[in-house]
Amino acid sequence: ILFLGFLQESHHFFTLSNNYKNSSQIDLGTEWRKSYFILGGKIRYINNKNQEYIKTSADAFIFNIGFRVSNFDLLYSYDFLLSELSNAGLSANEVSLKYLFKK
């Protein structure tokens, strides 16, 4: 583990926002990178809007882990549901491949 000290390290925070017809979504997260290794997490909040009220609730905590190989990020994500859907036993596993364009 000590030999990793000279490798490039970065850490950042981010927010994402999406709007739908009757709801909106806000994600607050962080990601840590050490050379080729990626570790991150975020929490998703949902605003459900109808004619009578607006309900804001934490929907999910998302954990991701991955690796960078050349210009590609290979990531695995898992959603720990916090909303009413968690009672139904629903969860999400996701594998993503991102290509990073050079400037």
Name which of 28, 9, 25 is nearest 83 in CA terms: 25
Model pTM above 0.75: no
Query: Residues 19, 46: contact at Cβ < 8 Å?
Result: no
Q: What distance in Å separates the CA atoms of residue 101 and residue 103, rounded to the nearest whole number?
A: 7
Q: What distance in Å separates the CA atoms of residue 23 and residue 15, rounded to the nearest whole number?
A: 17
Q: In one letter, which amino acid is 82?
A: L
pLDDT at 75: 94
Measured in whole angstroms, how far is the alpha carbon of residue 68 from the centre of its chain?
16
The model's pLDDT over 80-102, given as tens digits with 9 standing for 90+, comes to: 888 665 555 667 899 999 898 88
The model's pLDDT over 17-44, given as tens digits with 9 standing for 90+, comes to: 777 777 788 888 888 888 889 999 998 8
